[in-house]
Each structure stands twice: as C-alpha cells, then as structure tokens.
Structure 1
Amino acid sequence: MLTDRYGNAISTSSQAARDHYDHGVRLFLGGEFGALQAFEAAVGADPGFALGHAARARAAMMVAQMPLAKTAIAQARALAARATPREQRHVECLALLLSGQAQRARMAVMDHVRDAPRDALAAQLCASVFGLIGFSGEVGREAELLAYTSALLPHYGNDWWMMSMHALSLCETGQIGASLDLMERSLALNPRNANGAHFKAHAQYEAGETAAGRAYLSAWLADYDDRAVLHGHLQWHVALWALQQGDEATMWAAVDTGIGPGAAKGLAINVLTDTAAILYRAELAGLSVGPERWRALSDYAAQMFPQTGQSFADLHAALSHAMAGEGARLAQIAEEATGFAGDLIRPLARAWGAIARENWSQALQDLVPVMPVTERVGGSRAQRDLLELTYANVLMRLGQADEARRSLATRRPVLAAAPPLAGLS
C-alpha cells in the first residue's frame, strides 16, 4: 500500500494517482490554483481511489462548484468501504460538512486527528479563522484554535503548512512576534504558500507595519494566479493598507479589479465581506462611496445569500442592504437571522439600519451588547475591526470622542495611534 506526503497509508496501488493526489494536497494547503485539476487527475488514474474523490469534493467546494462537490463525496462514500479506517473517517468528516452538519463535522474532525494527526486535509477543516472552529460562533474560539494547532504542531515537524496555521493562531491571540518568526520559517520552506503570505499580512497588520506589509504583499501578488481562492482577499489587504496611507487611487483600483462583484473570482463570502468592509471603512475614513456601489453589492448579497444562516456573510449583507436603502432585505436579516451567531447578527443589522438613518443613539443601543463578544461573529481581528471602528464612530457622532478613543486604545490599540476615522485624529 502506498503512502501520501504525510506518511498516511492510502488505498490506491497507482503511483500516478498518489502523485497527483500529493500535488493537489500541496496546492490546496498552499491556497494555489490547480488543486481541483490535480485531484481530477488522481481519480482519473484510479477511479476507485476513495480519498481522491473526497479531496476532489473538498477542492470543488472551495471553488463554489457545489453540485460537483456533492457528487464527488457520494462517490467517495461509496468507495470508502474498501479503504482504510483512517480514510473512512476522513471521508465521513467531509461528508458531514457537505451535508450542512457543521457542529458534528467539527467534533468528528477533533476526534479523528487525535488518532491521525497528520491527516492534513481533514485537520485543515478546523484550522484557520474560516474553519469549523473559527465559524463555531462560540466565545473563546481563538483560544480553542490556538490549542488545536498547538496540539498538532509537534506531529508535523518542519512542515510549512502547519507552521503557517499555527502562526495565524498565535497572531489572533496577540503573540505577534512569535507569529511573524514562525511565518518567516514557513515561507522560507514554501514562498508560494498563499496562506502563509496571507497570515504574514495579518501579523504585519497587527504589528502596525503598514508600509512594509503593503510592499511585501503587493510584490507577492504579482505572480499569484487571479483564479486562486485567496487572490481577491489578498487584494483586500492591499486596499486596506492603501486606504490607511491615503492612496485612494490604489484602493479603488483593487476594489474594481480584484475584490468586488464581477472582478473577484473567489468565493462569494469573500467577495461580499471584503467589498462591504472596504467600502464602509472608506466611508469611515472620510471618502465618498457612490450609492451605486452599495446598490450593486446589496443585489449581489441578495442573490448569493438569499437566506440567512452564515453569520459572517449575514453581517456584511446587512451592512450592504442598509447602505443601499434596501429596507425589506435588511428587515429579513434583522428579524430572522439564524446561524452560529444569529442572535448577534439581528441587533447588528438593526444597528446598520440606524446608522444609515443617522440615528446614532439607537445604533449605540444595538451595538453595546454585541461589542464584548464580537469574536462570535467570525473572521479575523483585522476583519472585525469593521465593528470596532463602527462603534468608535457612533460614539464620536454622539459627542463622545474621548470614549471613542478610549475604546480603541483598550480594545484595538493598533488602531489608536492614528485612528482611520474622519474627525478622530
């Protein structure tokens, strides 16, 4: 029996299938383009390779080809009876995720990696802020993510992927120096690891390294395929830094060519959340955002997320609808939001509506109970700065500028020295 690049036994006798699978794993874990094609080649070389079909399902999911993902996981489950117990559990973890059972999938992955810690494609399901821990909607999920990658790290040795995952966990729990050191070691082993470049950008953001971060990421993006899953989101990081440096032209160029609907080729959740966040942060910084941009984004949100349930997407959809004046769409979220943090999304949606009407006292009333637990809505600290800045802006509008400064200084000191808020310098 052959083994994969992490030493796990795999149920194929085809070296070509194994090699294509290993190549696909490397591309997938590195956020590079071509993973789906590699996994297609793997099952082409061995149609009976259960794990190849499971990986094909996972890669299809990440490029929003959900019918293909469901077909592929059904094939994997049908073939898994002839696979090893480790492969069977791997397939079941992914099947749970694809059937919408996120909580059960999370528990299954946590159980599975205790016995098979080097099953990287399964372990990946709970890693990063966009994984099953990150979108759990629970208080303490950042600490849980750190505990998760801390437990896995010793099993991976000098592995660039796990180093980058653990570095992000360090970053999101405030250990910025350690995060940057580990990320540099990871990127030295695989400089084209898009997750590594992404997480380095997060650490540089948290360290306040605006000029250095923008220069690094802009150069790194020059050779990154715009069809790859992280291309649009990395452009968001560049746009954010450009906004902080007052480079409005570069910010809008990034929005129009790599971030917004019709420009980005990544997942709908990234297109929506990144575009809404940069548009509103631009408004907070004092820039003029054309109403047509908000209308287009509201239409996109209504098309791609017609029902609530993905709380991080719902947060940004509500913002888009509020700024576009789409009251009925906003009301649906404010009244009906479900999902892992639906209880927080409802008042946040009401707050966006109040802000759009410039009813600052009502906005504050809706924001106050949410601010202590914003980690529950998902996303990174950099992404949740949208809420931190919104809260500070509301305070400032109510004549409480000193309280706005105190909030940023205590909650997000990286923003306090030069707050990216018009009127709060």
Structure 2
Amino acid sequence: MSLADGYGNTLTTRSAEARDHYESAVTLFLGANREGLAAFSHCVAADPQFALGHVGLARALMSAGRTSDAKDALKTAESLAFDVTSRERDHIAATGLVFSGQSAKARQAIRAHLSDHPRDVLLAQMCASVFGLIAFSGEAGHEASLLAFTESLLPHYGEDWWMMATHAVSLCETGQIAASEVLMARSLALNPRNANGAHFKSHALYERGETTAGRQYLTTWVQDYDDRGVLHGHLNWHLALWALHDGDEGAMWAILDGSVGPGASKGLPINILTDTVAILHRAEIAGYAVDPRRWTAASEYAAQYFPNPGQSFADLHAAIAHAMSGKGDRLARLAESSSGYAGDLLAPVSLAFGHIARGRWSDALDALVPVLPVAERFGGSRAQRDLVELAYVNVLMKLGLVEEARRTLKTRRPVLSDAPPVSGLT
C-alpha cells in the first residue's frame, strides 16, 4: 500500500494512522504550534519503523529546545534509512547535515534536492524565512537570495498557506510590503492560527510603521497562543518593541519581564538572548534608564548558552550584552574570534559596543562605519537589524551630528524617520 503526505510525497509506512498523524504534525509544525511535537510522537508510536516520522519528531524536539532528545530521534531515523525511498533518504541526510552544524553543505544539498522534489516542505522550511539557512548564510544579499528561493517554489504549491506566508515575508524583507500583505492575508485566511503567519504579518506592519495597528493585532492574536510555542517569546518581543515606539515604557518592561527575557520566555536560547538585548539597548537609545542588573543578567545568559563564538547573530547580541555589563574578558574573546558565518564582523562590532559602553563616541563611530553596510550578513530580519542602525544613529547624536543622524535614518530606514526611537531626535 502506497501512502503519501499532504504535499504528495510518497511515505515509507504501511500505517494510515501514522500517515495521518504525520500530516497533522507537519501542519502544526509549519505553523509553529507546539502541538506538533505530540503529533509526531503519536506518528512514530503508530509506526516505530517510519523513518520520516522520526525526522519530524527530531525537528519538533529541536524546536522545543530538547537537543539531546532531538539527536536521538534523528539517529533512529538514520538507522531506518536503509529501506526508504531515495527522497526520504536524502531528506534524512540533509537533516543530519543541519544537526551536525554543516550549514553550507546542508544548504547546497537541500537546494539540489528541491529541484527534484520542490514540495518536500520540511526541507524547504529549513532554508526559508529570516531564521533559515539562507538568512544565516553570512552572505551579502541574502534577502534577495531568499526571495529568489521562495519565488522558485511558489508555483509548485498553489493555494498553500505555508508557502504563501513564507513568500510573503521574503517580499516584506525586500521592501515589497503591499504585495506581502496581500499574500499574507490569503495565508492567514486559510490558517488563522499559523504563528509564523502572525509573525510575518507583524513584520509587514512594522515596516509600514503601523505601531497602533500592530499592537492591536498581535495583542489579540497571541492571547490564545501556547506560551510554550517556539514563537511566543518572539511575538511578545514585537509587542515590547511597539510599546517602546509608542512611549509606553511600563508595558515594554512588563512584556519583557513577563514573556521575553530569561526566566520568562520558554522559547529557544537564541531568541531569548537576541530579543532581550535588542529591547535593552533600544530602550537606552530611546532615552529610558536600564537597570545595570538587566545587562548583567543578559551577559550571564549569553555566557551560559553561547560560550563559544560561532552563531554570528547570537554573537552580535552577546557582544552588546558583555560590553554594556562591563564584562571585558568576555567581550575580548568575541573580538579575538573569527568563528561563524559572519565571524569577520565580530571584531569591529565588539570594539564598537565596547566604545559605546564607555562613551567613546568617535572610536565607536570608526568601528561601526565598516559594519553598517554589511550588517545584513548577521542574519535576522530588518526589524532586528535596526538595532545596529539605531546604534549608529545614536552615536552620531552623541557626537552632535544631528543632521547627519536624520539623513542617515531617512535614507537607510525611512520607516523610523518620522518618529525616530532615538533620544533627542524628534
């Protein structure tokens, strides 16, 4: 008996129950819903020999932060790969490359695989969005590459909510906001409880400067989202950021302390670190007083979860935390490293924020100037990389270069120029 998933891919399982659980799990996982973990568990319980079910379970466990369990699940899948289709075998192998940290090889393998199997959606998902293998490639122009990637897949998916949401964020990150919102609306109409869709819509609202509309939409949407969901903390980061832009300091701190920061968020360490640091430094740039103990806690968290340089997006934020907390030894280690996909940017960024922490504004400017044009290489979204943009504008302000600060914001991030979240720049 030949069974297939919801995307038409043949599955090596004789169990219709396992197939049904797998299909449900894929839908839940693509929507960043925590229930996908249970669905994948039910899938492999129904057929313990279903290799791709174990791969899906590994992916869900990794998203839940259970790294050791995820690796065990993948090992089980690899042990079953001898009697599966070639598509499934390549799917397992590509996932193994990702799990072993061979991102460049994984990216190459997945691209080649998708040329023959464009609807192998869980592999496509690995490369897509602002946290995928393309965004974290360290390459200049990766936003255009991501757009080309999703655009090439779009014709193969029809009216698929995941593909539409994924292409929509590619459009958004390349400045095509109106087209992004049209596609996003179609996606969310098909699956309103798609957390990735809600996330990507939030980015479009941010890029349009719709602070009030963004707060209203996301506050309502997140109420029914499990706080153990992988995007719960990050969606609340968007709310905290909008509260900052709105001048609602009390709400900003309440959201940070209740849903975003260490001890509050149940998300992945990379999100907890980067979201916390971004709020703290952007709050300082906006003129709010930040308790030094917050910076110390952020530095301790970075040291615990990212002790060794290598994940450049996390390293950028770790450098800020270490600099602002006065942890010179930790900052020096980053400055002396070139590890990671954008490792060559670590030294100037570490130096820049070290100077910022000490109020050495001219030195900070010298260090930031070569970073600013290539900050995209750190990965993440435009909204997240605004941390670097605003840090640069803030340095200009500290040097009394007010008109240059205005001009920089107007030309590089015009969406922030009408009501700039920078102290003294109104």
Instruction: Name the TM tier (shorter chain).
Output: over 0.9
The CA distance in 1 between the partners of 2:55 and 2:144, in whole Å, is: 29
1:206-355 map, 5 Å: 206-355=207-356
Partner of 1:364: 365
The CA distance in 2 between the partners of 1:256 and 1:324, in whole Å, is: 18
The CA distance in 2 between the partners of 1:249 and 1:19, in whole Å, is: 46
- Any conservation in 2 of the 1:314–1:337 contact (CA below 8 Å)? no
The CA distance in 2 between the partners of 1:263 and 1:418, in whole Å, is: 30
Partner of 2:195: 194
Q: Matched residue of 1:423: which SS?
A: coil
Gaps in structure 1 of 5+ consecutive residues: none
Q: Matched residue of 2:132: which SS?
A: coil
Partner of 2:161: 160
The Cα shift of 1:266 comes to 0.3
Partner of 1:124: 125
The CA distance in 2 between the partners of 1:240 and 1:186, in whole Å, is: 25
The CA distance in 1 between the partners of 2:277 and 2:181, in whole Å, is: 28
Deviations 1:19-68, CA, capped at 9 Å, x for gaps: 11111101110011121221111111101000001111111111121111
Partner of 2:415: 414
Higher mean C-alpha displacement, 168-177 vs 16-25:
16-25
Q: Matched residue of 1:145: which SS?
A: helix
The CA distance in 2 between the partners of 1:50 and 1:337, in whole Å, is: 38
- Any conservation in 1 of the 2:260–2:276 contact (CA below 8 Å)? yes
- Any conservation in 1 of the 2:309–2:340 contact (CA below 8 Å)? yes
The CA distance in 2 between the partners of 1:309 and 1:48, in whole Å, is: 35
| 1:127 alignment partner AA | A
- Any conservation in 1 of the 2:240–2:256 contact (CA below 8 Å)? yes
The Cα shift of 1:81 comes to 1.4
TM-score by length of 1: 0.99
- Any conservation in 2 of the 1:277–1:316 contact (CA below 8 Å)? yes
| 2:348 alignment partner AA | P
Deviations 1:304-337, CA, capped at 9 Å, x for gaps: 0000000000000010011111111111111114
The CA distance in 2 between the partners of 1:231 and 1:366, in whole Å, is: 35
Percent identity between the two aligned chains:
63
| 2:205 alignment partner AA | Q
The CA distance in 2 between the partners of 1:27 and 1:279, in whole Å, is: 32
1:185 counterpart = 2:201? no
The Cα shift of 1:80 comes to 1.2
The CA distance in 2 between the partners of 1:206 and 1:81, in whole Å, is: 48
| 1:105 alignment partner AA | A
| 2:185 alignment partner AA | E
| 2:117 alignment partner AA | A
1:135-154 map, 5 Å: 135-154=136-155
| 2:25 alignment partner AA | G
TM-score by length of 2: 0.99
Q: Matched residue of 1:383: which SS?
A: helix
Q: Which runs of 4+ in 1 moved over 6 A?
A: none
The CA distance in 2 between the partners of 1:264 and 1:402, in whole Å, is: 39
- Any conservation in 2 of the 1:176–1:207 contact (CA below 8 Å)? yes
The CA distance in 2 between the partners of 1:60 and 1:102, in whole Å, is: 19
Partner of 2:98: 97
Partner of 1:43: 44
The Cα shift of 1:215 comes to 0.3
The Cα shift of 1:163 comes to 0.3
- Any conservation in 1 of the 2:18–2:44 contact (CA below 8 Å)? yes
The CA distance in 2 between the partners of 1:61 and 1:103, in whole Å, is: 19
Q: Matched residue of 2:80: which SS?
A: helix
The CA distance in 1 between the partners of 2:348 and 2:421, in whole Å, is: 24
The Cα shift of 1:293 comes to 0.5
- Any conservation in 1 of the 2:57–2:70 contact (CA below 8 Å)? yes
| 1:181 alignment partner AA | V
The CA distance in 2 between the partners of 1:327 and 1:370, in whole Å, is: 21
CA RMSD of aligned residues (A): 0.7
Partner of 1:66: 67
- Any conservation in 1 of the 2:337–2:346 contact (CA below 8 Å)? no
The CA distance in 2 between the partners of 1:129 and 1:327, in whole Å, is: 31
The CA distance in 1 between the partners of 2:235 and 2:284, in whole Å, is: 21
Gaps in structure 2 of 5+ consecutive residues: none
Q: Matched residue of 1:418: which SS?
A: coil
The CA distance in 2 between the partners of 1:20 and 1:189, in whole Å, is: 20
The CA distance in 2 between the partners of 1:74 and 1:333, in whole Å, is: 33
The CA distance in 1 between the partners of 2:230 and 2:220, in whole Å, is: 18
